[in-house]
Amino acid sequence: MSAAETVPSSDKTPSSEDRAALPRNVGPYTLFELIGRGGMAEIYLARRETDLGATRRAVVKQILPAFADDPRFSEMLTHEAKLAARLSHQNIVQVDDLGRDGDALYIAMEYVEGFDLGALLRKCSESKRPLPLEYALGIVADVLHALEHAHRRTGDDGEPLGIVHRDVSPTNVLISFEGEVKLCDFGIANANALVRSDDANEALMGKAGYMSPEHARGDKIDARADVFATGIMLWELIAGRRLYKPKGELPLIEQARRAEIPKLPDKGLPQQARLYAIVKRALAPLLPERYPSAGAMLRDLEEYMASAGLLANRIKLGEWLEQSFGKELIESRRASERRLPKGAAVASKSDHPPSPTTDEPVAPEADGGASGGASTAASSASIREARHLPMSQGAIRAFKRELESSPSMPLELDVSVHMPGGEPPGSLDAATMELPPASDPHTAADASQPIVAPARPSRLPLVLVAAGLLVVIAIAALMGR
């Protein structure tokens, strides 16, 4: 689950009364800004401070009491934290902690300072500022990197975990001011070993506008459902509008079942037929005709980007994002944090002793999947198993309302193509783009690599220079004797 999941609609924005109650402590975290609210949780920007004064920001999702007291929901949240502990990748938001503080159930996540893709597209539309196509393609490529890692993740026994995200959509794609792209909200992901397949609400877990046809029908799904959802995002970025009409004659879920994909308009893009073929295969309604994996789609997309001269650079993406939209947001966040009293987070430790569920944060495994890291044994998380009891009807109704409600607003999206050393060969003209309103997402870490990363520079020359200096010093010492 993520901040992006509980996106505040226009009638759920934080009120002045809500903000007046801040800062306050939850577990080891000091909450100082309410950045989102949904049907299941409130999302806060928080700070954690150690006994020695070191601080770091985090995003804390505090579950609403109707869900926090529900054993079935607590079980789902526990499963999420254990699942997230196995997903350690530069394009996936890291879950840091899960615990209780009195009656409050919370989950703490990496803070990504920037926007989710839905909010970014909205800002582009409102400001009439085009989103360069190379950045749009680079964002999709990073989402595919994240999915390939999750899909290939294995358990301690070496068997695939069968992870499916189920909710790949613009509000769950976070883009930082450092140019990092991260996929969040594996909270409704389905790991075969962790989630029972007979859950009555399984077919509801996801946004209908980004569902594959088999997902919308309630059939068993696999990684190809996430490929389809990514294909929808790519189609929308190129077309400049929603694939399925939220206010059409048919409900979104029925449109998703039918999967009637309109032909993309002619945009005059470089090697356009090749790009459109990638989109068409990703959105194939029949599973045998679709890309078999996120990695397969990623290979075709990156080859196209290289051939068309549309390779995106992560540093330039971050600079463009910050210069275009970031200054006001960053200053607002810093001002909120400056108002915090010193030592507030340390005081929370004595005011709220940690419960048995928070003795130890959820620890990630070393990346042994798509990113190529060495595989290690899974780190244990001290999270108490919730009892296997049915979810209350009130919670189920609230859960349905949260998932089925997808408020949208008319937008105009203009996506342009920038080619190095020449005039743009074409542009994606403005069109109506309807996206669910989004809250400000969490935070970023390292952003030194471009979206399509080149090979790292070799350190061999530095090693040789150092070795040569040591030899010269040793010879000089001998001659001095």
- List residues with catalytic annotation: 167
Q: Cα 269 to the chain's mean position, in Å?
A: 28
CA distance 144 to 132: 19
Going by their DSSP bridges, the two strands 181-183 and 412-416 should be labelled as unpaired
Calculate helix-pair angle for 294-308, 223-239, nearest 10 degrees.
Answer: 30
The torsion angles phi and psi of 149, rounded to 5 degrees, stand at: -65, -50
Q: Which residue has the tokens 């490929």?
A: 227
- How far CA 370 is from CA of 33, 145, 375, 448, in Å, comes to 35, 8, 11, 19
Q: Count the neighbouring beta carbons within 10 Å of the beta carbon of residue 209.
A: 24
Please tell me whether the peptide bond between 132 and the residue prior to it is cis, using omega within 30 degrees of 0.
no
Burial of 345 (0-12, 13-18, 19+ CB in 10 A): buried
Q: Name the residue among 26, 17, 18 with its Cα closest to residue 46.
A: 26
CA distance 444 to 176: 6
Q: Name the residue among 399, 307, 295 with its Cα closest to residue 41.
A: 399
Q: How many residues are there in the chain?
A: 481
Structure-token pair, residue 194? 């962790």
Q: CB-based contacts of 64: which residues, under 8 Å, 6+ apart?
A: 39, 40, 41, 42
Structural contact between residues 74 and 390, judged by C-beta atoms closer than 8 angstroms: no
Q: What is the dihedral of CA 459, 464, 467, 468, to 10 degrees?
A: -150
